[in-house]
Amino acid sequence: MATAPVERLTTELVVPAEETPGGAVWLSNLDLAARRGYTPTVYFYRTNGQPEFFEAEAVKASLARALVSFYPLAGRLGVDETGRVQIDCTGEGAVFVTARWDHALDDLVAEFVPCDEMRDLLVPATPAPNPPCPLLFAQVTRMRCGGVVLGLAVHHAVVDARSAAHFVETWASIARGAGGGGGDAPVPPCFDHRLLSARPARAVLYDHPEYKAEASPTAHAVAAGTKYASAILTLSKAQVGALKSRCAGASTFRAVVALVWQCACRARSLPHDAETRLYSMIDMRARLAPPLPPGYFGNAVVRTSALATVGEVLGNPVGYAARRALAATSQGDDYARSLVDYLEGVDAMNLPRSGISRAHLRAISWMGMSLHDSDFGWGAPVFMGPALMYYSGFVYVMQAPGKDGAVSLALSLEPESMPEFRKVFADELATLQM
């Protein structure tokens, strides 16, 4: 897409509005095992015509208040005396950038796909994700039409998707006047990551292949950074309902991912005897015994996977793939504790983090991230999603903006596979309307 460059106007640090605790926040093995780097996201807001719409000083003031409760985000990544990564609560602040772009928001909404170009335009540049780097970057880009894009980059060692959403929802709540004069979070964050400590007597009861290098790639291994094609596709509420009826008992996420898995296997023209693995990330907050506090702020997700042959995925109804996905996403406390214990025995900070084989998919649910909770006082965003895809084979499942019950996919595949995937996926959606 042909675009004018984004002009960055100011860059500054926003510090907490009040004095905050010092010291360090210990990071769990799940934090250390997270992808090393920043997660970039974008929120698109259509102007409501008010002169104070996303006025920079008001946005910064509400951010400063949000950082009172979420004070670790104003700190820096650090290391303890043993070299283990931690959060140093220095109160130095989050990086805040203002920018303008001679481009129309409606055009951006129509043409946006997650890619390196979009990330570079709409999200602040970030340093190497190693100590002593900042943890939160924000950019407010004002469009030619008056609309705004809020671009964020948060260090993944500090938060998973649910925690990131918790922070944004609190920030937005404060900005629209619902957060309390002192910057209190509607759900107070919990920074006690020792709730996910390894047990004194470690007990690794499962294999946890998702945290190991792929021993023998099934087909043309795809490394992180390899070129990919990305797309955003939508299923209507009726299509989602019809799909779930074919996947008895499956959640929306599992049913949609099952269909994507089938279509990707077909579009990639994989041999039927090839193995294909569906990776997923499962939030364990409510699955632990006892559950984590509602405001647990950190990484509380575990990688899981389901393995099948391409022939099994394609030769059975979509409900088969959904049942395999269910098997990979139904683990409980014993599985999570086994994983934490396993990670205690390996170098969790240097796990394999390359791309995946082109026979595989990595699916992530953002279904719980409500767009309405990201209303800063001028209306909910018309779109929210990832700013880029890390490599081929990523799938994000999200609520579709403005369409109750509809689902959007952000998907990346090899450039040569994407045209066929679009065709196969469209054909499958057509059958869901019959």
Determine if residue 379 is left, alpha or beta; phi over 0 gives left, psi from -120 to 50 gives alpha, anything else beta: left
Rg (CA), the chain: 21
Per-residue CA distances from 403 to 44, 48, 234, 396, 422 (Å): 16, 20, 10, 17, 21
**Interatomic CA distance for residues 199 and 214, integer angstroms:** 27
Question: Closest Cα partner for 264 from 187, 318, 345?
Answer: 318
Please enumerate in sequence order all residues whose Cβ is within 8 A of that of 215, keeping only pairs 6 or more positions apart, or say none: none
Question: Closest Cα partner for 77 from 30, 125, 26?
Answer: 26
Burial of 270: CB neighbours in 10 Å, binned 0-12, 13-18, 19+: buried
The predicted structure's pLDDT at residue 63: 97
Question: Where are the domains positioned within the chain?
Answer: 7-196, 209-431
Please enumerate in sequence order all residues whose Cβ is within 8 A of that of 315, keeping only pairs 6 or more positions apart, or say none: 272
Q: Give the torsion sign (CA, 109, 114, 116, 122).
A: positive
Q: At what angle do helices 318-328 and 252-267 cross, to 10 degrees?
A: 120
Domain 7-196: CATH superfamily, name plus number: Chloramphenicol acetyltransferase-like domain (3.30.559.10)
Q: Do the beta carbons of residue 296 and residue 285 sit within 8 Å?
A: yes
The predicted structure's pLDDT at residue 90: 97
Give the neighbor-by-neighbor strand order of the sheet with 24-26: 24-26, 85-88, 76-79
**Interatomic CA distance for residues 222 and 214, integer angstroms:** 11
The predicted structure's pLDDT at residue 398: 92
Q: Which residues are catalytic?
A: 156, 375
Helix (H, G, I), strand (E, B) or coil at 123: coil
The count of other CB atoms within 10 Å of the CB of residue 383 is 21
Q: Do the beta carbons of residue 24 and residue 87 sit within 8 Å?
A: yes
The predicted structure's pLDDT at residue 213: 75
Domains 7-196 and 209-431 agree in fold: yes
Give the type of residue at 68. Answer: V
pLDDT < 70 regions, the chain = 1-3, 178-185, 214-226, 352-355, 403, 434
Burial of 104: CB neighbours in 10 Å, binned 0-12, 13-18, 19+: middle
Torsion of CA 205, 210, 211, 216, to 10 degrees: 110
Q: Do the beta carbons of residue 133 and residue 79 sit within 8 Å?
A: no
The predicted structure's pLDDT at residue 35: 85
The predicted structure's pLDDT at residue 180: 43
Tell me how long the chain is.
Answer: 434
**Interatomic CA distance for residues 429 and 6, integer angstroms:** 37
Q: pTM for the complete prediction?
A: 0.93
Question: Rounded to a whole number, what is the largest CA-CA distance in the chain?
Answer: 63
**Interatomic CA distance for residues 298 and 189, integer angstroms:** 9
Pick among 3.30.559.10, 2.40.30.170, 3.30.390.10, 3.10.20.70: CATH of 209-431: 3.30.559.10
Question: Closest Cα partner for 182 from 27, 31, 65?
Answer: 65
Instruction: Count the alpha carbons within 13 Å of 431 in the hemisphere toward its beta carbon.
Output: 10
